[in-house]
Structure 1
């Protein structure tokens, strides 16, 4: 399990690195002290899990998470932070972070969360999950879509196939497929046609396929 640590506190990175490197089949392959460095290293190293702090200089963890997932939607990001604020929880989880755990957790709890995220599972502490679910129940499904997912939904509404979308947005076919899968999941629909119908029913696109 290859891990990238993104945290502006050197002692936090040192402690995590020392602990993780003692675990079987786990290796910290990179460290970043701010979100901008984290973004660059994530796209360069392609780790199995990115452990991301939120409050950092240059680029915070929220923007770094959004940027990483825009370019690499398959990335598995675990938020490790001291903050339980709504305005920090919602953006990163809506963007696609796979976990959110507090720094007050034990070392074993943090490692367990990293392991679960590496396996594609969600790892969210109960108090965080409760806040997030309450938030989701009180807002439309499409508000969870990222700007890139909205761009792709607009192109789906034009009738574009995956390869044409990839060519239009200068991204890989695999990335398009991942975004489309995320769109279907977030809108709770089973296929592309239903996603487009949802978009028109909720006035997300007009007859000329432009976003409102």
Structure 2
């Protein structure tokens, strides 16, 4: 077991975490040395277990896992970091690339793809890999909305342009008011604005929305 890749799983979904741990432990070259549902424990558990690879989930709407990934990369240059994220989140994929992680995998990916990402992270922690990176790059080149905003953020922008309040946006998207507020705040942050009027003006200038006739 001494030559096994030491893996830590950090995922706030208990069944997903246990499923990943069970999957990894079946592999002769991989070994689970720790798991937790608390991202705040990430730095400590990596240090205490001397992990080679950490598998970390990125959950909307706050995507706090990206912040943890950046912190881990800053602390542990040789640590393999695999991010699990919802499928179709191109903006998160590009943020993951910029954060210095080793691999980006959709939560719905086949088990073989997840295991391949872990093994890649173990041997090339500073080399980024992601299935679907090519198509995502193509979409970014041809769509200004997807280059900057996630699909949900683009929806929020459209609803803001229609004059909906945060509460009305929450109803339209079937999410809580606090979640809708988080989406709006993230939208403002990406557009580098502080209110609705500035967001609409900036979006028009960047071609993210079409002017109304």
Q: TM-score, normalised by structure 1?
A: 0.57
- Superposed CA deviations along residues 15-54 of structure 1, whole A, max 9, x for unmatched, are 1111111111211101121321123212332311111101
CA distance in 1, matches of 2:43, 2:7: 14
CA distance in 2, matches of 1:85, 1:56: 10
CA contact (8 A) 2:100 2:128 kept: no
Q: TM-score, normalised by structure 2?
A: 0.56
2:130 paired with 1:124: yes
Per the TM alignment, residue 3 of structure 1 is displaced from its structure 2 partner at its CA by 0.4
Per the TM alignment, residue 59 of structure 1 is displaced from its structure 2 partner at its CA by 8.2
RMSD (CA atoms): 2.8
CA contact (8 A) 2:56 2:84 kept: yes
Match 1:69 to one of 44, 69, 73? 73
Per the TM alignment, residue 122 of structure 1 is displaced from its structure 2 partner at its CA by 3.6
CA distance in 2, matches of 1:83, 1:47: 27
Per the TM alignment, residue 132 of structure 1 is displaced from its structure 2 partner at its CA by 4.9
CA distance in 1, matches of 2:139, 2:101: 18
* Matched residue, 2:28: 24
- Superposed CA deviations along residues 125-150 of structure 1, whole A, max 9, x for unmatched, are 12x344258769xxxxxxxxxxxxxx
Per the TM alignment, residue 58 of structure 1 is displaced from its structure 2 partner at its CA by 9.9
User: Which structure 2 residues correspond to residues 1-212 of structure 1 after superposition, within 5 A?
Assistant: 1-55=5-59, 60-120=64-124, 121-126=127-132, 128-132=133-137
Q: Which has the larger radius of gyration?
A: 2
CA distance in 2, matches of 1:4, 1:133: 33
- Superposed CA deviations along residues 49-84 of structure 1, whole A, max 9, x for unmatched, are 111101189982111001111112222101112243
Distance 1:56 1:134, change over 3 A: closer
Give 5+ residue unaligned stretches, structure 1. Answer: 137-212
Distance 1:8 1:53, change over 3 A: same
CA distance in 2, matches of 1:38, 1:57: 20
User: Aligned residue pairs: how many?
Assistant: 137
CA distance in 1, matches of 2:67, 2:87: 16
